[in-house]
C-alpha cells in the first residue's frame, strides 16, 4: 500500500456492525450488510472517491473466528520484543495464506500488515467479555495505529465498561452508530481518525474539507432539481388532437388522465434524481401507512399532509394577489381545498379526483387543416404547488439524512409540516412565482434566485 491516501481495516467479532460502518463512512449503499454472522467472507476495499480522486479507503473484513488459536500460535515464539511482533504476525499470515484453517484471520490481517490503520468495532449494547481480549492482543501485535468504535446495536448501554477495557489497547475510543449517523457525526469520526497517525492528519483534514464541500454541492443539486421540477410541473400543458367539431366527454376525461399521469411521472423522475444525488438508489419507500405510489399525488391524504390549510391558503393567495372573487370561489366552493375523494377509474396509480377536474385550464384550440386540438393545463389549483413542494422537500430531506448503512425500507411518516416549514412571508414570495409558472410566463433571474433560496432555507431546516 504505497499510495498516499489513508487506509483503514474495519475489524472485530462477527456481526458487530463492521460492514455497516464501512458503508456509512464510504457513502456506499452497495455494501452487503446482514444480521447473519459471516456475511463478509473476504476482505474488500471500498475507496471513497470525490471527483475521481480517492480521499481514503476502508477495508471490510471477515470477523475473527479462531482468535485463541491464532494467539496461541503467536505466543509459541516466546518473549518477542515489541518491535518484532508484527514480523511474527506476518509470518503467521504467510504460513497460513494457502490454507482454509485460518482463512478469516488471514483476510483481516493482510490489509493491516500492508499499512492500514485498525478500526476495531464492538457492540456496546452487549456486556464486555474477556474473550475479546485475545482479538485485541492480536491487533496490538500488528503495531498499526488503532482506534475502537462503540456501536450500539441493541437497547442496552455498556459503553462505560467497554471504554475502560478498550482504552488499554487502542489510542482512541469513540461512539458511532452507522445506522443513525449523519453528516456531522461522519466528520467528527474522521477528525478522530486523523489523530491516529501524524502522516494521516493532513490527508484526512483534506478529506473532511472535500466531504463538506460535497455535502453542500449535494444540497445545491437537490434544490436545483426541486426548482426545475416545480417549474416543469406547474407550467405543464398537455395537448392532443380531437376528432369531431365538439369535444366529447370521453376525449376530455382521457386527456385529463393523461395529464395527471404525466405529472405523477414527473414526480417519480424527480425522486430518482434526488436519490441519485445522495447515492441512494433502489430504495424501497413507504409513507407511514400510505404507500406513495398507490395513494398518488392527487389524493386527499397527500393534500392533508403536505398542503396548506384553508386559512393559510386564503391568506397566501390574497397577499400574493392570486385570489379575487372567482378565485376565492374556486378554492372553497364545494370542496375542501384540493381534498378530493378518490373514485374509480385508477390508471397507472392516478384516479379521477373530485376537486381537480374543474380546476384545469381546458382549451379547445381552433381548426387547422381539419384538426382541432385539446389543451389541458397548467393546474390552476392554488394549493397544488405546496403539495408538490412539501412532498418533494420531505422526500429529499429523508434521503439526505439516510445513512448508507441502512437496509430497511424508507419510512416517510405521515406528518403535516408544510405550514410550519414556511411562514406567511415565505409563502407570499413563493405564490408570486407559482402564479407566473401557471401563466407560463418568464421568471426574472432575481425572482427565481429568491425562489431557490427560499426552498433551500426550508430544506436546511428539515436537515437539522
Question: pLDDT class for 356, splitting at 50, 70, 90?
Answer: very low
Most confident of 37-46, 82-91, 439-448: 82-91
* 378 cis-preceded (ω within 30 degrees of 0): yes
pLDDT at 411 over 80: no
Higher pLDDT, 334 or 163: 163
pLDDT at 64 over 60: yes
Question: pLDDT class for 317, splitting at 50, 70, 90?
Answer: very low
Query: Which pairing describes strands 172-175 and 146-151: parallel, antiparallel, or unpaired?
Result: parallel
Higher pLDDT, 85 or 409: 85
Which residues are CB-neighbours of 168 under 8 A, at least 6 positions away? none
Residue 264's pLDDT is what? 87
Residue 300's pLDDT is what? 56
- For the chain, give the mean pLDDT: 79
Name the one residue in this structure whose C-alpha cell is 500492508.
114
Query: Which pairing describes strands 44-50 and 53-60: parallel, antiparallel, or unpaired?
Result: antiparallel
Question: pLDDT class for 340, splitting at 50, 70, 90?
Answer: very low
pLDDT at 410 over 50: no
Question: pLDDT class for 1, splitting at 50, 70, 90?
Answer: very low
Question: pLDDT class for 173, splitting at 50, 70, 90?
Answer: very high
Domain ranges of the chain: 7-196, 216-463
Question: pLDDT class for 312, splitting at 50, 70, 90?
Answer: low
Higher pLDDT, 300 or 421: 421
What is the CATH code of the structural domain delimited by 7-196?
Answer: 3.40.50.300
Calculate mean pLDDT across residues 263-285. 84
Question: pLDDT class for 241, splitting at 50, 70, 90?
Answer: confident
pLDDT at 77 over 60: yes
Calculate mean pLDDT across residues 106-120. 97
Higher pLDDT, 170 or 378: 170
What pLDDT digit, counting tens, does each position of 134-143 carry? 999 999 999 9
pLDDT at 313 over 70: no
Please tell me the distance from the alpha carbon of residue 397 to that of residue 222, in angstroms, as a whole number.
Answer: 9
Pair 58, 178: CB distance under 8 Å: no
Higher pLDDT, 336 or 295: 295
Residue 79's pLDDT is what? 92
Question: pLDDT class for 360, splitting at 50, 70, 90?
Answer: low
pLDDT at 354 over 90: no
pLDDT at 335 over 60: no
Burial of residue 33 (CB within 10 Å: 0-12, 13-18, 19+) is buried
Higher pLDDT, 173 or 311: 173
Question: pLDDT class for 91, splitting at 50, 70, 90?
Answer: very high
pLDDT at 285 over 60: no
Radius of gyration of the chain (CA): 29
What pLDDT digit, counting tens, does each position of 178-232 carry? 888 889 999 999 999 999 999 999 999 999 999 999 999 999 999 999 999 999 9
Calculate mean pLDDT across residues 348-376. 55
Higher pLDDT, 166 or 278: 166
Most confident of 55-59, 373-377, 385-389: 55-59
pLDDT at 126 over 90: yes
Residue 146's pLDDT is what? 98
Q: Is this model's pTM higher than 0.85 or not? A: no
Amino acid at each position: 500500500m504505497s499510495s498516499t491516501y489513508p487506509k483503514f481495516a474495519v475489524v472485530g467479532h462477527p456481526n458487530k456492525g463492521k460492514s455497516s460502518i464501512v458503508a456509512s463512512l464510504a457513502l456506499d449503499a452497495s455494501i452487503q450488510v446482514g444480521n447473519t454472522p459471516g456475511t463478509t467472507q473476504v476482505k474488500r476495499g471500498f475507496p471513497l472517491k470525490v471527483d475521481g480522486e480517492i480521499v481514503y479507503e476502508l477495508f471490510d473484513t471477515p470477523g475473527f473466528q479462531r482468535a485463541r488459536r491464532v494467539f496461541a500460535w503467536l505466543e509459541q515464539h516466546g518473549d518477542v520484543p515489541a518491535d518484532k511482533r508484527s514480523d511474527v504476525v506476518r509470518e503467521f499470515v504467510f504460513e497460513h495464506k494457502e490454507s482454509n484453517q485460518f482463512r478469516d484471520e488471514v483476510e483481516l490481517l493482510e490489509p493491516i500488515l500492508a499499512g492500514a490503520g485498525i478500526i476495531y468495532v464492538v457492540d456496546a449494547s452487549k456486556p464486555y467479555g474477556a474473550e475479546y481480549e485475545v482479538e485485541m492482543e492480536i491487533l496490538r501485535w500488528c503495531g498499526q495505529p488503532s482506534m475502537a468504535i462503540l456501536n450500539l446495536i441493541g437497547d442496552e448501554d455498556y459503553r462505560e465498561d467497554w471504554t475502560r477495557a478498550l482504552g488499554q489497547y487502542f489510542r482512541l475510543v469513540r461512539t458511532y452508530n452507522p445506522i443513525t449517523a449523519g453528516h456531522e457525526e461522519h466528520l467528527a469520526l474522521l477528525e478522530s481518525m486523523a489523530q491516529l497517525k501524524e502522516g494521516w492528519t493532513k490527508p484526512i483534514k483534506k478529506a473532511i474539507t472535500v466531504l463538506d464541500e460535497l455535502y453542500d454541492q449535494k444540497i445545491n443539486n437537490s434544490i436545483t432539481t426541486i426548482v426545475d421540477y416545480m417549474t416543469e410541473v406547474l407550467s405543464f400543458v398537455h395537448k392532443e388532437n380531437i376528432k369531431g367539431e365538439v369535444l366529447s366527454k370521453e376525449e376530455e376525461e382521457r386527456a385529463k388522465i393523461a395529464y395527471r399521469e404525466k405529472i405523477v411521472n414527473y414526480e417519480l423522475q424527480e425522486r430518482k434524481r434526488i436519490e441519485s444525488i445522495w447515492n441512494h438508489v433502489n430504495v424501497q419507500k413507504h409513507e407511514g401507512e400510505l404507500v406513495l405510489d398507490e395513494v398518488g399525488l392527487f389524493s386527499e391524504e397527500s393534500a392533508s399532509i403536505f398542503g396548506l390549510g384553508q386559512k393559510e391558503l386564503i391568506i397566501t393567495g390574497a397577499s400574493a394577489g392570486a385570489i379575487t372573487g372567482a378565485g376565492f370561489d374556486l378554492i372553497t366552493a364545494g370542496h375542501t381545498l384540493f381534498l378530493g375523494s378518490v373514485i374509480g377509474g385508477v390508471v397507472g396509480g392516478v384516479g379521477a379526483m373530485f376537486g381537480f377536474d374543474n380546476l384545469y385550464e381546458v382549451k379547445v384550440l381552433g381548426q387547422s387543416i381539419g384538426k382541432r386540438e385539446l389543451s389541458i393545463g397548467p393546474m390552476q389549483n392554488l394549493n397544488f404547488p405546496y403539495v408538490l413542494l412539501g412532498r418533494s422537500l420531505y422526500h429529499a430531506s429523508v434521503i439526505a439524512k439516510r445513512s448508507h448503512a441502512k437496509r430497511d425500507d424508507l419510512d416517510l411518516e405521515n406528518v403535516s409540516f408544510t405550514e410550519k416549514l414556511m411562514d406567511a412571508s415565505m409563502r407570499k414570495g413563493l405564490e408570486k412565482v407559482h402564479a407566473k409558472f401557471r401563466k407560463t410566463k418568464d421568471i426574472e433571474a432575481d425572482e427565481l434566485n429568491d425562489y431557490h433560496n427560499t426552498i433551500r432555507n426550508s430544506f436546511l431546516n428539515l436537515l437539522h
